Amino acid sequence: MSEIVSSEPTPFIPDDLTVPQFFFDLDHVLRATHPDGVPFFVDDTTGRAVDSREVRKRVDGLANGLSRKWDIKENEVVCLYSPNHVDYAVVFWALHRLGAISTNSNPAYTVDELAHQLTLTKATTIIVHSQCLKNATAACIDIGLPLERIVIIDQTMFNAPHITIEQLIQDGLTHNVNFVERKLGAGEGKTKIAFLCLSSGTTGPPKAVAIPHHSVIANTLQIRAHNYAVETQADIPQNRWRFRPGDVITGVLPFFHIFGLVFNIHVMLYSGMAIVIMPKFGWPNFLKSVRRHKITHLLVVPPMIVLLCKHPATKDYEAELKNIHFCFSGAAPLSSELANQLEKVLPNACLGQGYGMTETATAVSMTPALEKVGKAGSAGVAVPGVRFRIVKEDGSLAKLGERGELVVKSPSNALQYWENPRATAETFLEDGWVRTGDEVEFDAEGNIYVVDRLKELIKVRGFQVAPAELEGHLLSHPDVADVCVVPIPDEFSGELPLAYVVLHPHAAVRALSSTTEAEAIKTDLSKYVSDVKVQYKWLKGGVEFINAIPKNPSGKLLRRILREKAREDRGAAAEKAKATL
């Protein structure tokens, strides 16, 4: 088996359009039209519905307003720092009309983390939700970005002295157009950058992945072809299609994340669906939203499925959950055990999984279109246009059933890590192939099974945590002589970071003096991380003291040894707890 190639034909993918030109200006055979009365977006809190005509109007108005206010130019980078919002897509589509680049930031980022992103991407302007304004202001001051370049995305009484999106839109709509939207040349969409999305690396702070317009367009059409094209060719009645025009889907996945950005926004809108914008996830409020908006489709990550299957509030919404037509899980593997439980909670739903990463922007595999429930533990088969290779440690290609690193070639693949040629060379190979860092195997039908991560990233609720980033920070603590961070399994979050710490002699003496003092040091080290890192990077797996960090002769951390130790220790502790019951 030299390669695994999608058996489905690749759709026509235009390479001379920006994302908004593709969405608003091009007719395509795979495009689904929103039925009359079906909006693009619905605000979960207020019920405000925004249809395609209003969205386009707001995009054009904001593009003109930004051009008039600051003359935002070609390839200029603007940061969007906000939870999900009805104008979230309006912002980046307006930037794309101007030829500018959007870098979307995690609204939970600390001041230091936001400052890193602004500096890394050389952002000139930041568009902020009012709840993020304090951190945004501090980050701008830290890096010298003028505070007048802060724009508020939501309408609140606290906007002054900053200009708001609404003010810019109205200004743009009431004045002559101040810019000329450029038509891309043939093939230019493959190199014209639309987004700089942050992705954690194993060697330090997050890197910016350069995603061109063509990648977003390609993945939208790949997923549409994988589903709609297959269903129509198989003569499946419309009421059994996965994505039916007029259906309503959750918009709770964070839009700054590649899964939410491409799959939740672009693919679902192109499928003619309405997205209920949920700025914050909470259970059972999520279930109340399903009832209130008559939601038919759930786009989730495994921790949400844990709640769906096990939270006591779920039983009060059995009628609504019987109306769920499709549930798709991504960002992290879904265990076969949890998938089996989900079938019982959503008895009438098609259940799907997929595989992708920021560097492949996004899904490169998905549960086959004609299967109600995919194979247990599988992340599906290659979507149209995708080619897979499984490379073993010796560089040879794996045979059927053998394990190796997954290497992907897809028209949706990103270009590079922004201004980071060394990291780019390690991941982005010649001829458009991308190393995933994931160990996989395939079955005879082409289903992909993710076995382990060869990369050292920790996946917490679908978010990537780089151990080296936390280790570097902990090593600056005066009590820490050496450290290694590893993942431990967690039913809700998937994995949690655990720090094995070698204490400096002065701290070791204190730790040995009493259990209370040892616990105080652990608490202090955990706080040392939580004070400056976003919440999913916190050491919720704990802190453990160790005499020495295992390393190979060249000094490289033998992380696998400590990862296995952590799992064995936790397993032994669980067995001991059972024995005492």
- What count of other Cβ atoms lies within 10 Å of the Cβ of residue 282? 12
Predicted local confidence at residue 202, as pLDDT:
54
379: helix, strand or coil:
coil
Comparing CA positions, the residue from 351, 356, 316 lying closest to residue 448 is 356
- HEC per residue, 279-310: CCCCCCHHHHHHHHCCCCEEEECHHHHHHHHH
Report percent pLDDT > 70 for the chain. Answer: 94
Ranges 80-94, 152-166, 261-275, 278-292: which has the least confidence: 152-166
In the chain, domain spans: 4-13+208-453, 51-183, 460-579
**Strand runs labelled E in 11-113:** 41-43, 49-50, 77-81, 101-105
Query: Does residue 533 register a pLDDT over 80?
Result: yes
Predicted local confidence at residue 574, as pLDDT:
63
In this structure, which topology does domain 460-579 adopt according to CATH?
Answer: GMP Synthetase; Chain A, domain 3 (3.30.300)
Please give the order of strands across the beta sheet that includes 350-356.
Answer: 49-50, 41-43, 274-277, 248-251, 297-300, 326-329, 350-356, 363-366, 381-382
Query: Does residue 223 register a pLDDT over 50?
Result: yes
- Indicate the length of the chain as a whole number: 581
Pick the CATH number of 4-13+208-453 from 3.30.2130.10, 3.40.50.12780, 3.40.50.10090, 2.40.180.10: 3.40.50.12780
Query: Cα 567–572–577 angle (5° rounding)?
Result: 125
Predicted local confidence at residue 464, as pLDDT:
79
Query: Does residue 132 register a pLDDT over 90?
Result: yes
For the chain, how are helix, strand and coil distributed in percent, rounded to 5? 40, 25, 40
Write out pLDDT tens, residues 289-322: 999 999 999 999 877 888 898 888 999 999 999 9
Predicted local confidence at residue 553, as pLDDT:
53
In one-letter notation, the amino acid at residue 268 is: M
Comparing CA positions, the residue from 239, 269, 238 lying closest to residue 251 is 269
Same fold, 51-183 and 460-579: no
The answer to whether 296 and 249 have CB atoms below 8 angstroms apart is yes
Predicted local confidence at residue 579, as pLDDT:
61
Structure tokens at 58: 């707001």
Write out pLDDT tens, residues 29-45: 999 999 999 999 999 99
Distance CA(98)–CA(64), nearest Å, equals: 8
Query: Cα 305–301–43 angle (5° rounding)?
Result: 95
Which value, to the nearest 10 degrees, does the dihedral of the CA atoms of residues 505, 511, 513, 514 take?
180
Query: Does residue 491 register a pLDDT over 90?
Result: no
The answer to whether 146 and 132 have CB atoms below 8 angstroms apart is no
Q: Which residues contact 164 (CB under 8 A, 6 or more apart)?
A: 151, 152, 153, 154, 155
Once rounded to an integer, what is the mean pLDDT over residues 404-413? 96
Ranges 92-101, 129-138, 456-465, 548-557: which has the least confidence: 548-557
**Strand runs labelled E in 217-349:** 248-251, 274-277, 297-300, 326-329
Q: Return mean pLDDT, the chain.
A: 91
Query: Does residue 341 register a pLDDT over 90?
Result: no
The answer to whether 557 and 549 have CB atoms below 8 angstroms apart is yes
Q: What does DSSP say about strands 41-43 and 49-50: parallel, antiparallel, or unpaired? A: antiparallel
In the DSSP assignment, the letter for residue 47 is -
Q: What does DSSP say about strands 4-5 and 77-81: parallel, antiparallel, or unpaired? A: unpaired
Query: Does residue 203 register a pLDDT over 60?
Result: no
Predicted local confidence at residue 556, as pLDDT:
59
Predicted local confidence at residue 573, as pLDDT:
66
For residue 405, list its beta bridge partners.
391, 439
pLDDT bracket for residue 438 (50, 70, 90): confident
The answer to whether 563 and 549 have CB atoms below 8 angstroms apart is no
Report percent pLDDT > 90 for the chain. Answer: 72
Q: What does DSSP say about strands 274-277 and 248-251: parallel, antiparallel, or unpaired? A: parallel
Query: Does residue 488 register a pLDDT over 60?
Result: yes
Predicted local confidence at residue 225, as pLDDT:
96
In this structure, which topology does domain 51-183 adopt according to CATH?
Answer: Rossmann fold (3.40.50)
Ranges 260-269, 322-331, 443-452, 497-506: which has the least confidence: 443-452
Q: What is the DSSP string of 159-203?
A: -TTSEEHHHHHHHHHTS-----PPPPPTTGGGTSEEEEEEEEETT
**Cα of 441 vs its chain's centroid, Å:** 23
- What count of other Cβ atoms lies within 10 Å of the Cβ of residue 319? 8
Once rounded to an integer, what is the mean pLDDT over residues 552-574? 75
pTM: 0.85
Query: Does residue 121 register a pLDDT over 80?
Result: yes
- What count of other Cβ atoms lies within 10 Å of the Cβ of residue 229? 18
Residue 169: exposure state from Cβ atoms within 10 A (0-12, 13-18, ≥19): buried
Predicted local confidence at residue 554, as pLDDT:
47
Once rounded to an integer, what is the mean pLDDT over residues 113-126? 97
Once rounded to an integer, what is the mean pLDDT over residues 234-250? 93
Predicted local confidence at residue 557, as pLDDT:
72
Predicted local confidence at residue 576, as pLDDT:
63
Once rounded to an integer, what is the mean pLDDT over residues 434-458? 85
Predicted local confidence at residue 259, as pLDDT:
92
